[in-house]
Amino acid sequence: MHLAWGEEEERFRAELGAFLDAHAPAEAIGRGMEPETHGGIPLWAREWQATLFDHGWLIPSYPPELGGRNATDVQTLVYFEELAARGIPRALHFPGHAIVAPSLLEFGTDAQRELVPAAIRGDTVWCIGMSEPGAGSDLAAMRTRATLDGDHFVVNGQKVWTSYAMWSQMCMLYVRTGDTDSKARGISVLILDMTTPGIDIRPLRQSAGGTDFAEVFFTDVVVPKENLIGEMNDGWRVTMGSLAHERAGLWLEWTGALDHVFRRTVDEARRVGALEDEVVRYRLMALYEEVGGLRALGYKGFASYEKSGAAPEHALLKLATSELRKRIAQLTNEIAPSPENRREVLGTFAGTIGGGTSEIQRNAIARVLGLPRGY
């Protein structure tokens, strides 16, 4: 049996490859698929995202006016596969094209949808105001409140771990508009101009040394009523859609990033002569098998999605890839201790927290399997 893509998919891959050979900047090649926010968004990354949009390669499944070429699901999979193989990111800031745009296309008004092209192309940098000090994984516990006062909302509260807040022009802000104990039933979503008076952005320095996140305080911030996305107190649907958009198709990017991290570990082992150690070789082989197994699980999930529109296999991948990346980084630092490798280990802990902690992911998987919750 020979497993391979068909002629149409390979023509699509060849066209993409020719474009990448001609246009991908040197800074993008081989850097891995994960965004990097430390120090802001570099000019080359902004220009690269715009180039992808202008040539129809940013979101291939979208129409040309939204940075795509009406690609099929299988062609989109080939697209992610090729980018992952080359270690080329689409963008170093994902909220606009991965969360805001699909959310506005699904739930926004006609006026709000006019914001979509700039969000995808990267002309407008967005942040996502979800997590709070007491409402990270338990998003329904959020307390930042928006009170409707005539033709506008007044927002008071605090967000934390907000990526890109320091450089964003706009924010997709999740607020409580229902009763204090309304939980998921009382959440709404607002479009917020980050230059609005009353917003205080305070960067957070992490253990690895970067300032990739910020806490954001809101004091009597006025937001026009027409900036409400969807219906009032119906923001949970937007929230769940946003999280789904964030994760859809990312498994190839995650496993692609693992490939690059693993190859770096092998290079480090070779550099210090650790490949002569039989135990090190065995541990590297075991990690390599795990990376390949996760990639195969992703393809299985894609096949499930094509058949039924659901892919329970992908529920595991966020958990498994973030935990595996942490273990690969730990082995790298064990083999070749250095300040850079120690920072890499510290940085991997963020992947087990952001977008849903590993504990929350295990509960989600337990629900799919019909098992009891962990708490």
Residue 217 in contact with residue 158, Cβ under 8 Å? Answer: yes
Name the 3-class secondary structure at 326.
helix
Residue finishing a domain among 92, 107, 134: 92
Q: Is the pLDDT of residue 200 over 80?
A: yes
The rounded mean pLDDT for the chain is 87
Residue 241, phi-psi category: left (phi > 0), alpha (psi -120 to 50), beta (remainder): alpha
Domain with 344 in it: 249-369
Same domain, residue pair 214 and 182: yes
Radius of gyration of the CA atoms of the chain, in A: 21
Between residues 295 and 375, which one has the greater pLDDT? 295
The answer to whether residue 106 sits within a structural domain is no
State the average pLDDT over residues 197-213: 82
Distances (CA, A) of 331 to 52, 98, 280, 287, 290: 36, 32, 9, 10, 14
Report if residue 24 sits inside a domain: yes
Among 246, 253, 268, 344, the active-site one is 246
Q: What is the domain-level CATH number for residue 359?
A: 1.20.140.10
- 22 dihedral zone (left: phi>0; alpha: psi -120 to 50; beta): alpha
- Cβ proximity of 271 and 340 under 8 Å: no
Mean pLDDT of 232-255: 72
- Residue 67: left if φ>0, alpha if ψ -120 to 50, beta else—which one? left
For residue 24, pLDDT beyond 80: yes
d(CA 141, CA 187): 10
- What's the CATH code of the domain at 164? 2.40.110.10
Asked if the structure places residue 339 within a domain, the reply is yes
Domain final residue pick, 235, 268, 292? 235
Q: Are 57 and 18 in contact (CB under 8 A)?
A: no
**Full-model pTM:** 0.85
Q: Identify whether 246 is a catalytic site residue.
A: yes
